[in-house]
Structure 1
Amino acid sequence: MNLTVKNHSIPLSDGNQIPLLGLGTYGDPRTTPKGTARECVKLAIDVGYRHFDGALVYFNEHEVGQAIREKIADGTVRREDIFYCGKLWNTFHPPQLVRPALERTLKNLKLDYVDLYIVELPMAFKPGKEFYPRDKNGQYIYHPTDLCATWEALEACKDAGLVKSLGVSNFNRRQLELLLTKPGLKHKPVSNQVECHPYFTQPKLLEFCRQHDIVVVGYCPLGSSRDSSWVNLKSPPLLEDELLVNIGKKYNKSTAQVALRFNVQRGVVVIPKSFNPERIKHNFQIFDFALTEEEMKAIEALNKNIRFVELKMWSDHPEYPFHDDY
């Protein structure tokens, strides 16, 4: 696969294309200054990024949309050059809430359609104004989950032209099979967004997805922040790995660039999140070198099968995806 700055898209099973490198736009709304996402997305478009991964629950889609629209208005890009992925949050799983949730994203973005819309997690929460509903004891309030019914509502959104492609996130094999074998399936999931990096290479899930023409999108492709509220700090820092350091020295690249290159060479889409202008530029500089087969195998062998993002606070949910082997 000859990947270049201008052309690093791969086909999806529905005939659309997805760029292998995107920018994650999550930022803690409590600590990220207003306007940060807007400025960073504009910079990223100037650098060459065309794929942006966002979500209603990030509380900054209006900024991301504004940045995209400004770069269309100044002639840097056309709408069809941009690939935007939005996400259906857990409180919107009941079929009648699916389209309103997507319309909320479109209203925030001020765009006519999104390129990819995915079920963020296979776990439903109690619908309502709260995105993280809890009872008086502080326990999360769950909701019965019917992934097939939610999926059918998403299919109707695609048929209505509000979204080009449909996918999922954090689904295990069993949950994917539930959709793939659904009677009357109209549009199969084209992608599954999961944690994926050299310490968690997802060999079994990756193989299953390949067999079913599902592209794997890897979040936390550089490991993760060391935020103890949601990250397993027992996982060693990926970017200090000796092998990655040494391979980086050979190519005059950083461990981050080596880790990103590893995944894109395997056909795994990466969406490193950064609001640091230098890192945004840095993470894009992965198309001027290639890893050898031996280096790819050596990095694959780093797999420790440990997740950074375990979401243990929801591990008692009936559809918690990470109890299964994959």
Structure 2
Amino acid sequence: MLNESLVFGPFVSLDTFVIPHGGRYPIFFVGLLIYLFCVFCNLTLLSLIILRRNLHKPMYFILFSLPLNDLMGITAMLPKVLSDIVTETNQISYTLCVFQAFLLHLYGGGILFILAAMSLDRYIAICMPLRYSSVMTPRVVACIVALTWGLDFILITLLFSLQSRLPRCKSVIKNVFCDNPSLLKLRCGNTTVNNVIGLFATTVMQAISVSIQAFSYVKILITCVVTRRSDAKKKAINTCVAQLVIIIIFEVVSTFTILSHRFKNVSSDLQKIMGVLIFLISPFLNPLVYGLYTSEIRHTMLRVLQNRAFV
């Protein structure tokens, strides 16, 4: 265990996983393969959307934000965790710690807002197909994307800016990566305002995301029940299942992680593992899920591979 009495300084210490020495390198290589796989898949998805003209549509312009967000989240977390497993240094400068925490929270809020924007796009496409082109104009799509990132950035910036008003007097973080609650525990003084604003920001993000997605999917479900065209039903279901799978898994894992810190009988190692999974689920599953369930992306990928094979 880390010593709480460590002298305060420019570096903070992280409480990494307790791993037998012989297991460090196997875990490192497995983690590295997962990271490289996620980076490759998300860069491939980004490249397809950029280079293939048939994907230059509102749905895919909004989807473009998802692999960007995933790359930011997994890159901010996993390389540092893997490095600490091998080197056993378990230290990071306070400035980089704050930057890592900021990116990780930006990633978490980004998932909620991006999936909400995507569900709204699918609602308009499925429930108002004849008006889709007139509603989802390039300007509207640009505004949706800007609002998605802008609101996320404002809320996270507000959350972190409040920490600067309190003096820092500790140097030990009992987690494998930096996040806002851990950084707040390094501060001395009354943190009530920070906790209230943190709860407010989380509530706003969840309320906006859940309400938009609930509205969109209920409307889509009603449309699927009412419509008589089996092909339209199948297309609607395939389109929505992908997003529902991702958001349900993410919400279950993140909710468990948040609640686990409220109970003392939950293993700290389990808390750490679930915390890491939050930043692995979306980058790992999104390219696979959208590749399998989005026929246009799947067919585009197959055409690209066939063209490469015959070059």
Tell me which interval the TM-score lies in, with the shorter structure as reference length. under 0.3
Q: Which structure: greater strand fraction?
A: 1
Structure with the larger RCO, 1 or 2 (CA within 8 Å, 6+ apart): 2
Q: Which structure: greater helix fraction?
A: 2
Give the structure with higher Rg (CA).
Answer: 2
TM-score (structure 2 length as normaliser): 0.25
TM-score (structure 1 length as normaliser): 0.24
